[in-house]
Structure 1
Amino acid sequence: MRITSVETFVLSNRQALVKVSTDEGVAGWGEHTLENWVRTSSAAVERMSEHLVGADPLRITGLWQTLTRGGFYRGGPVLSSAVAGLDQALWDIKGRWLGVPVHELLGGPTRDAARIYAHANGPERTGDLQRARAHVTAGIDLLKVAPHGRIEFLEKPEHLDTLLAELAQLRAAVGTGVDLAIDLHGRFSLPLSRRLLPRLDALGIAFVEEPVRPEHSDLIGDLVRCSPIPVATGERLYSRAEFRRVLDAGVAIVQPDVCHAGGITECFRIATQAETYDAQLAPHCPLGPVALAASLQLAFAVPNFYAQEQVLDLHLGTSPAATVLTNPQVLVPIDGRIPRLTGPGLGVEVDEDAVRAAVDAGRLAPGSPAWAHPDGSFAEW
């Protein structure tokens, strides 16, 4: 079997797919979305396809090495995202060729269902109480929110008091039978996070995500030591080498993105690496259904899985992003867990006609906002 073509499809600034076809009629799909930079990652995929056309798609690790290291310059979000989408597609092909889901190729299932979590952010406050209750009513038992609005380097005491009060209201609204996590999104400075984390303990926070920006990963150990709350990070880290730094610092949960951190191949290795530190895996996935399916294949295969992020919210009804699948029902959670995917490859069926019809060849809407402080200086989103 040989690869005959590699095609990319940009649907939005937060959704880009790649299809790898073979001379045996077996094709695989992956998601190489790099939020805000999808056309750039697509260009990288097209460049990398020169290494793939004519190659045996079943030699995944060998091809991964070539794609990752063969251009001399390596790493970073663009190249790692391009590799990630192609890697997902190669695993999809291999699973379909052998008639098994990818997690069977990774050693077989470690669980029968994967816990998911949902976002409950509010438009004008930290936490939307109505949305949070809707998630819980639908069976979700882990919610995540982010602080509302931009954050100064050192906020006034009243700002942190308001944040804590809103989190307390959210806790009261959903009860103690639901886990709450807070994503600081890299908006907080190290000293401000050090002030906040000890005050969160009374709320029973499940974990605090990205309490410092990724370029300050060497400082994250200060926050691990200042509070008993588990620290999570990793959506903007792209390799085992980068994850080693935060694991050495004591983070409890690693969050590689299967669309950014080298695909299934590298994320499986990151999970295994984390296991030696007694850390768990919660893959980052604010993207589409192909990315979610690829993430779930990891969730079903690794023993140290904690929870899966998703934004489709199929427990609340249909999702526009899921219309690229012919079988979105396999991603519908039951009691907050998505049952183990049993279909071949990634376990989802892409509707190619729907994908081609959804391609956006024009100027894309921004994938995230650009914020500024009152003095006009840059503010983290």
Structure 2
Amino acid sequence: MHVTGYELYEVPPRWVFLKIETSTGLIGWGEPVVEGYAKTTMAAVEELIDNYLIGKDPLEIERHWQAMYRGRHFRGGPILMSAISGIDQALWDIKGKHYNAPIYDLLGGRARDRIKVYDWIGGETPSEIRSSAADAIENGYTILKMAAVSQMNWIDSPEVVEVARQRLAAVRDEVGPGVDIAVDFRGRVRKAMTKWLASELDPYDPMLYEEPLLPEHFDMLAEVRNYTKTPLASGERLYSRWDFKQLLERDLVDVIQPDPSHAGGITETKKIANAAEAVDVGVALHCPLGPIAFATGIQLDTAIPNAFAQAQYLEVHEPTDNDLLNYLRDPTVFGFENGYVTPLEEPGLGIEIDEEYVQEQSELQINWQTPIWYHEDGSVGEW
């Protein structure tokens, strides 16, 4: 068996799907994309497959990963690693189908029978976000995720901190102590304000603070720890086990959040999770993407002992009449119930893509771009 060809599809709302074809007729799907850089990532996928993968045995995944990563002078970064990630996902999908097994069986088998998933809640005012939290609880979620702030200046006012406190207080009051609340700083908050904000939010017992500082300031996380009791989490903007090395070796976070569509796919994300387990750090895989990326996360979660939660933005609690799940022939495949999804039992990634629908959607004009935010003085803010 060897790789004979591939297709790339850019589809709404901001995703890229990759189909890899083989000489036996088996196909595999992956999701290689950097949000806002879809076409750039697609070009990287084309270079890797055209110049290396065509004609190769798709089952030799570790060799291919090493060749795509080490075979060129320049390596790493979001574009190249996301391209490798989508290719890696598709190769694992083929391998699972070849051996008639879900991918987690090829990774050592089940470590659990179900995995909790987040639901994102939004709203600028305390009443708005409280209403969003109530809806999520009604839909069965037991982990909610919210932004700490929309924007924050280098040094901001007590009023801005108070609004953030009131929003989290409103959510905690609505859901009670039995629901976990992840608070995402999104790298928008500078060190001085992170310390202040964290100390104000701590009384409401968040599950974790996500991206309290940007990766370029990870050396300051140890200082932030002194101002909060809440676990710290990060990793969505890291792309390999070497990127995670500082976080793990210096004990800077309690939870890592690699994204299997950015951090080298299934092959590399499993290694990152194993490294975290060795230093008693939990894993909550990042996934603001589509159903292929989400299925990849579920395959990994099923086999990773230290995984405890899975991000998603697919509204999996409502599979019918759901545009985000229309790319699947069976949108109910994730089996959401009481805040959990269940392991996928079909071979490979465990999902069946509606290729006709994918082709139809790929004909639309898509140019999703990350919005650029400005502060009141006209300076550019962190998104």
Tell me the distance in 2 between the aligned counterparts of 1:49 and 1:126. 50
Mapping 1:285-296, distance limit 5 Å: 285-296=287-298
Structure 1 distance, partners of 2:372, 2:348, is: 38
Structure 1 range deviating more: 340-349 or 122-131? 122-131
After superposition, residues 155-174 of structure 1 pair within 5 angstroms as: 155-174=156-175
Opposite residue 18 of structure 1, the aligned amino acid is L
Q: How far 1:22 sits from its partner (Å)?
A: 0.2
Cα distance, 1:360 vs structure 2: 4.3
Looking at structure 1, the residues matched to 200 and 58 of structure 2 have their Cα atoms a distance apart, in angstroms, of: 51
Q: CA deviation at 1:363?
A: 5.1
Partners of 1:168 and 1:33 lie apart in 2 by: 36
Gaps of 5+ in 2: none
State the Cα deviation string for residues 133-169 of structure 1 (Å, max 9, x = none). 1211222100010034211111101110111011101
Tell me which of 318, 322, 325 is aligned to 1:322: 325
| Partner AA of 1:334 in structure 2 | E
Instruction: State TM-score, norm by structure 1.
Output: 0.97
Residue identity opposite 2:375 in structure 1: H
Counterpart Cα distance in 2 of 1:123 and 1:33: 29
SS at match of 1:329: coil
2:49 corresponds to: 49
- The CA distance in 2 between the partners of 1:159 and 1:126, in whole Å, is 16
Alpha-carbon distance in structure 2 between the residues aligned to 1:380 and 1:243: 22
Q: Residue 226 of structure 1: SS of its match in structure 2?
A: coil
Between stretches 121-130 and 167-176, larger displacement belongs to 121-130
Equivalent in the alignment of 1:30 = 30
Q: Secondary structure at the match of 1:158?
A: helix
1:123, CA displacement in angstroms? 4.9
Residue 207 of structure 2 is matched in structure 1 by 206
User: What RMSD, in angstroms, separates the aligned Cα atoms of the two structures?
Assistant: 1.4
Tell me what 2:274 maps to.
272
The answer for the alignment partner of 1:89 in structure 2 is 90
Q: 1:157 to 1:265 in 2, by over 3 A?
A: same
Distance change in 2, residues 1:126/1:59 (3 Å) = farther
Q: Does 1:258 align with 2:289?
A: no
Q: Count residues with an aligned counterpart.
A: 380
Instruction: Determine the structure 1 residue equivalent to 2:223.
Output: 222
Match of 1:74 in 2: 75
Q: Which residue of 2 aligns with 1:147?
A: 148
Provide the rounded CA distance (Å) in 2 between the counterparts of 1:193 and 1:126.
24
CA distance in 1 between counterparts of 2:39 and 2:241 reads: 26
CA–CA distance in structure 2, aligned partners of residues 133 and 33 of structure 1: 32
| Bigger shift: residues 84-93 or 172-181 | 172-181
TM-score w.r.t. length of structure 2: 0.96
The answer to whether the Cα contact below 8 Å between 2:319 and 2:325 also exists between their aligned partners in 1 is no
Per the alignment, residue 40 of structure 1 pairs with 40
Deviation at 1:56, TM superposition (A): 0.2
Q: Give me the whole-angstrom Cα distance separating, in 2, the residues matched to 1:357 and 1:146.
A: 34
* Cα distance between partner residues in 2 of 1:12 and 1:81: 18
Alpha-carbon offset, residue 125 of structure 1: 5.7
Partner of 2:371: 369
- Contact 1:187–1:212 (Cα < 8 Å) also in 2: yes
Give the SS at the match of 2:167: helix
Cα shift at 1:174: 1.1
Could you tell me which amino acid in structure 2 is paired with residue 168 of structure 1?
A
Deviation of residue 124 (structure 1)?
Answer: 5.1
Answer yes or no: is the 8 Å Cα contact 2:114–2:340 preserved in 1.
yes
The structural deviation recorded for 1:327 is: 1.6
Q: Secondary structure at the match of 1:331?
A: coil
**CA distances 1:202-244 after superposition (whole Å, capped 9, x unpaired):** 1011000000112212222222233211000000011111111
Q: Distance in 2 between matches of 1:159 and 1:289?
A: 36
Alpha-carbon separation, structure 1, partners of 2:126 and 2:188 = 16
Work out the percentage of aligned pairs sharing the same amino acid: 39
Query: Which runs of 5 or more structure 1 residues have no equivalent in the other structure?
Result: none
Q: Does 2:291 align with 1:297? A: no
Structure 2 distance, partners of 1:360, 1:223, is 47
CA contact (8 A) 2:14 2:368 kept: no
Cα distance change, pair 24–322 in 1 and its aligned pair in 2 (3 A): same
1:358 alignment counterpart? 361
